[in-house]
Amino acid sequence: SDYEGSDDLFPYGDTVTTQSGFESRKTAMRANPESSTYANWNQFNDRFANMTQSGRNAVKLNTLLGDLQKNGVEPILNLTRSENYSYSGWGGKWEQWQFAYVMAYHAAKNYDVQRFQWYNEPDQNNSTITVPDYADRLRTTADAFRSAVEDVNRIYGKSLVADVSA
């Protein structure tokens, strides 16, 4: 919730209600990833630059990733999406995919991040997510990470390779 405090584009699910709607919106976003039609880039970019992350790691994302890149450190971008965000239906899956895509796209485009982790120790946070649900969330998210890195490579001529762990 640090980077997407609430739904970035109203309504939640962005009117995605079917698998074909999910695939259609995904294809459209990938064709023009920096369009504010599919993600509120102004909101995300402001938070990447100015918001101090909550929790133990009180950092600003752009500052941290920029410093790591300058010092030759290849980070693993570890992301978690709160269970407060609905994952039900195709709209919930879309919101999860879009969030992971935006985070990975920004990090890959600007800082050459290519290593990603989804949920650190999911069994340690009193989660109510079942193993099958977790696996489905991971598949959706891993696809978003890989798609974002592929699109950054295509658009910016990079040769990053997405490495996803969980």
Asked if 65 contacts 104 with a C-beta cutoff of 8 angstroms, the reply is no
* pLDDT for 5: 64
pLDDT, tens digit, 9 for 90 and up, residues 105-115: 999 999 999 99
Considering only 128-132, 149-153, 162-166, which range has the smallest mean pLDDT? Answer: 128-132
**What is the pLDDT confidence band of residue 13, given thresholds at 50, 70 and 90?**
confident
* pLDDT for 88: 79
Average pLDDT over residues 127-135: 80
**What is the pLDDT confidence band of residue 124, given thresholds at 50, 70 and 90?**
low
Nearest to 155 by CA among 29, 3, 42: 29
DSSP code per residue over the chain: --S-SS-SSSSTTTT--SHHHHHHHHHHHHHSTT-TTTS-HHHHHHHHHHPBPPSS---BHHHHHHHHHHTT---EEEE---TTS---HHHHHHHHHHHHHHHHHHHHHHH---EEEESSSGGGTT----HHHHHHHHHHHHHHHHHHHHHHHHHH------EEE-
* pLDDT for 81: 75
Asked if 116 contacts 145 with a C-beta cutoff of 8 angstroms, the reply is yes
Which residue is associated with the tokens 């941290």?
64
- Mean model confidence pLDDT for the chain: 89
Average pLDDT over residues 126-131: 73
pLDDT, tens digit, 9 for 90 and up, residues 147-156: 999 999 999 9
Question: Cα–Cα–Cα angle for 98, 13, 29, nearest 5°?
Answer: 40
Nearest to 46 by CA among 94, 8, 75: 8
**What is the pLDDT confidence band of residue 55, given thresholds at 50, 70 and 90?**
confident
Query: What residues have CB less than 8 Å from 45, skipping those under 6 apart?
Result: 106
